[in-house]
Amino acid sequence: MSADHPETPDTAAASPAASPVASPAASPAASPVASPAASPAASPVEGTIAGTTARPTSTKADHLLRDTWIVFVRQMRPMLYRPVLLAFGMLQPILYLVLFSPLLTGLAGAEGENPWQWFVPGLFVMLALFTAGFAGFGLLPELASGAHERLLATPANRAALLLGRVLRDVVTMLVQVALVLVIVLPFGFRAPVAGALVGLALLGVLGIGLSTLSYLAAMVAKQTYVFAPIVQTVLMPLMLLSGVLLPMDLAPTWLYTLSRLNPVAYVVDAERALFAGEWGSAVGLGWAVALGLAVVALWAGARRTRRISA
């Protein structure tokens, strides 16, 4: 073409060599960025989508602990907003301290001692017995309204729904025991630190078993008018045959033998030994009974919860 007629765009398209940038289809090597399909090594994380990072996989134990904590916090909120509920739970033990313990002076098992030194450890067990034993009442409204069934429909761990409640009951009970312990210290009650700490731990294990059994009974009864007589019928003999109020050594042979069938009686003996600074066989037996009760109760409670959610 002559110089008088410059090259038109159509002419430029007809001569690709004149283009300053090569066509990607014609010369792939000229592309400054390689195709992802052609170079998989360019992915920053092998085996994952480019630009993302791998996340650790949560285990069942992680889910159980997390969900248990969530349920525990949810159950503790009413207690934190209304701490007066703690005082109501302590009212009965304080009445026993003031009106009943002075009557124990001179009885076998309390001779030559401050009567509270013998009575208070048993009173702690009574507090655990009734605080944990009545725990199932809190579940009944949720069963009646369907709130518990809605919780079972969530992805939350089924065992955590039970463990979170039980943990709340144990913490509440231990706080009440600690407050009663502070109240009786000015009146002459004394206990070694190590024995008191182990005794509180033993009460916690007992509370786990009793609270779980209370929730299990509530899940079976489902109605207050059914649950209340069951709890009263069970708790009163457990308390009377445990030796909390009077030494079982004073009882007739048949009654003493019957008290040996009561698991709470062994925990009472262990508590009195621990708060007296003794570490004999009574302590080991009390721990064995409390641990066995807790394991059996948790197994039965978890199984019942799974059946409800099935």
CA gap 291, 208 in Å, rounded: 9
Residue ranges in the chain modelled with pLDDT below 70? 1-58, 106-113, 307-310
Cα atoms in the 13 Å half-sphere on the side-chain side of 205: 21
Q: According to the model, what pLDDT value does residue 260 have?
A: 93
Angle of CA points 264, 265, 271, to nearest 5°: 90
Does residue 1 fall inside a structural domain? no
Q: According to the model, what pLDDT value does residue 20 have?
A: 42
Q: Please give the helix or strand (H or E) that residue 225 lies within, else none.
A: helix 224-240
Q: According to the model, what pLDDT value does residue 304 have?
A: 84
Does residue 37 fall inside a structural domain? no
Q: Which domain holds residue 239?
A: 62-308
CA gap 140, 146 in Å, rounded: 10
Amino acid at 146: G
- Spacing of C-alpha 247 from chain mean position: 34
Does residue 246 fall inside a structural domain? yes
Collect all residues with Cβ–Cβ distance below 8 Å to 274 and sequence separation of at least 6. 121, 195, 196, 198, 199, 202, 283
Does residue 44 fall inside a structural domain? no
Does residue 33 fall inside a structural domain? no
Q: According to the model, what pLDDT value does residue 309 have?
A: 54
* pLDDT tens, position by position, 275-289: 999 999 999 999 999
Does residue 14 fall inside a structural domain? no
Rg (CA), the chain: 35
* pLDDT tens, position by position, 189-233: 889 999 999 999 999 999 999 999 999 999 999 899 999 999 999
If one counts the domains in the chain, the total is 1
Does residue 117 fall inside a structural domain? yes
Q: According to the model, what pLDDT value does residue 106 have?
A: 61
Q: Which of 206, 213, 238, 241 is nearest to 227 (CA)?
A: 213
Does residue 19 fall inside a structural domain? no
By residue count, the chain amounts to 310
Burial 52-71 (b: 16+ CB within 10 A, else e): eeeeeeeeeeeebeebbeeb
CA gap 140, 65 in Å, rounded: 25
Taking the model in full, what pTM does it have? 0.76
